[in-house]
Chain A
């Protein structure tokens, strides 16, 4: 118990980092997801194909593998490309490190992963709006883009708040996978403390407890928002 109290501030900072990386990733994911989700619905085949490839890849492979690819794979690729360019075209050396900062690897991997899931949430949200809404908007002379922006998306946004909240909670837990590349979020910090102190059970349980506090309070928030939206617009 004494160990837990002594190391608690360190874990708390870890929890803050976990929360931070989740907020950043899900925010980026929303932007990526909106773009990819709309692209999937596009009549332009190529655009929709690209978006489908993106979504399928990141939803169909484990986040752990994606993290490893981003952290180890991308620098390797960049380094290889640089060596090739230097050898064949005599370009100067642009960077000399074969590592990318853990923080950036974490942001890139989690954002891309989250974007793929959110793309599907957006797509489902837009598709759940009755066809008559688009027709009514178009019949007033709105372009497809205007109809999306002023009529379809505002309605879709309200419907996707609950699944978006679930995605946030899932991502919050999944960031623990970032411990494998040594990114010092909550779990990684716990591992390091365990290494020092050997207090396996106490520390991991504390980590679990901190995750639980974060996920529970966030799911309460989602429930509350959902209920408020429901009472406001009963027709949805």
Chain B
């Protein structure tokens, strides 16, 4: 579903990603962990070209993102993204946040979009919040609306950029629960996270990134219980 080939990204002289190669199969849940500044978010943002890679290639569902003929807006419809700070549209209600993509991008009728929107709100447990504005919602609720907004485009892949990092501790659970449901339904997911519990429980694979390189990857049990690399061990010992 996703193939990353020799991806490099520099900001000026700063090399953030160095020769990343990875694949994500359909239905797989891949968690990317690593210290801050290791390039996790940048890697994720390269997968839908919110960051333009310096070199290398990203292939999503058979479409090369670096090909000049590729219409990135079409690819992005297949790749949902959830942000650390939610980034809901503050001037729109929860329901309008969700229906905006389908209506404006997919030209879905308002009625069909609202039906879809309400189904998705129910799915994330917020049926009663359709007409509420984002600032009237808690962080956890906002993030769940943001997940519903991304799902409204019926993507094949979902990218999560530290989706629980900005939340109060008691709200982390409700967001992770929604993500677990998604994983169970077979959604292909790439999750940048500090939630090791989630990675262990839901992740099919964990990738440990440090200084822009993939240091180690494998099944969560292997990585968490017997990491092969010293750097992984040091990192895990600090956070577990």
Contacts and interface: CB of A to CB of B under 8 A. Distances in A.
> Can you list the 5 inter-chain pairs with the closest CB atoms, starting with the nearest?
A235-B135, A141-B77, A136-B87, A132-B87, A140-B101
B149 A140 contact: yes
B187 interface: no
B19 to A, nearest CB: 26
Contact of A138 (B76, B104, B150, B153): B76
Interface size class of A (residues with CB under 8 A): 20 to 34
Of the candidates A136, A139, A151, the one having the most CB atoms from chain B within 10 angstroms of its own CB is A139
Interface of A: 130, 132-133, 135-143, 146, 150-151, 154-155, 158, 233-236
A132 B135 contact: no
Contact of B105 (A146, A233, A236): A146
A234 B133 CA distance: 10
Given A136-B83, A233-B135, A234-B135, A142 B101 contact: yes
Nearest to B103: A150
B58 interface: no
Chain A interface mostly helix, strand, loop or mixed? helix
Interface of B: 48, 50, 73-74, 76-77, 79-81, 83, 85, 87-91, 100-101, 104-105, 133-135, 146, 149-150, 153
Nearest to A135: B50
Given A132-B83, A132-B85, A158 B101 contact: no
A233 B149 CA distance: 21
Contacts of A150: 100, 104
Contact of A143 (B50, B73, B87): B73
Nearest to A232: B133
20 contacts: A130-B87, A132-B83, A135-B50, A136-B83, A136-B149, A138-B50, A138-B73, A139-B50, A140-B105, A141-B73, A141-B74, A141-B76, A141-B77, A150-B100, A150-B104, A151-B89, A233-B91, A233-B133, A235-B134, A236-B90
A37 to B, nearest CB: 19
Given A132-B85, A133-B89, A155-B90, A139 B73 contact: no
B154 to A, nearest CB: 11
Contacts of A154: 91
A141 B80 CA distance: 9
B104 A142 contact: yes
A75 to B, nearest CB: 47
